[in-house]
Structure 1
C-alpha cells in the first residue's frame, strides 16, 4: 500500500508470517530504507485510517537535522 501523509510518502507492507505487523518504509525521507513498524496485538488488522494515523506520530519524533528518530 502506498500512503502519503503530510506530504511524505510511505510504502506499507504487512509482514509475512506476523499477523497484525506492518512495516512502513519512508520513501520520501532522507535515509534510504528507513522507517518504522506498527503492530496490533493478536490476529487483528489495522484499518487504513489507523495506518494513516501511525505515520504522523512517527514523523513527529524525527529529528529534522538527521532524519532519524530523536533521542
Structure 2
C-alpha cells in the first residue's frame, strides 16, 4: 500500500466507506445499469481507471462502492464484484458494518 499512496498508507481517517461523491461534470452520467440478484446498480467509470457501482435499489441513497482498476473486466466479473459487496451488507441497516 505504501508504494501506491504518498503518505504512510493509513488513508484518510475521515473517509466514509461507500459514500462516493459525483465527479465534477459527471452528475447523472452512467454507462451501464445492471440488475444482480434483484438489486439494481449503475456502473460508471471513475477517474482512477476503475468503476463506481451506485446501489440504486438500496435503502441508502448514494451508497455503493468502487473498484480500481477495472479496464478489462467482463460483465461476469462486474456481477461478481456486486455480489461480493451485497454479501457484506447488513440487511438490517443496508450498510457494510465495521467488525
Q: TM-score, normalised by structure 2?
A: 0.63
1:37 alignment counterpart: 66
Moved over 3 A (4+): none
More strand by percentage: 1
Instruction: Output the CA distance in 2 between the equivalents of 1:18 and 1:69.
Output: 23
Aligned length, in residue pairs: 67
For structure 1, the residue ranges without an aligned partner over 5 or more in a row are none
Q: How do 1:9-20 and structure 2 match up within 5 A?
A: 9-15=40-46, 17-19=47-49
For structure 2, the residue ranges without an aligned partner over 5 or more in a row are 1-31
- Superposition CA RMSD, Å: 1.4
Highest relative contact order (Cα 8 Å, sep 6+), 1 or 2? 1
Larger Cα-atom Rg: 2
Instruction: Output the CA distance in 1 between the equivalents of 2:79 and 2:63.
Output: 17
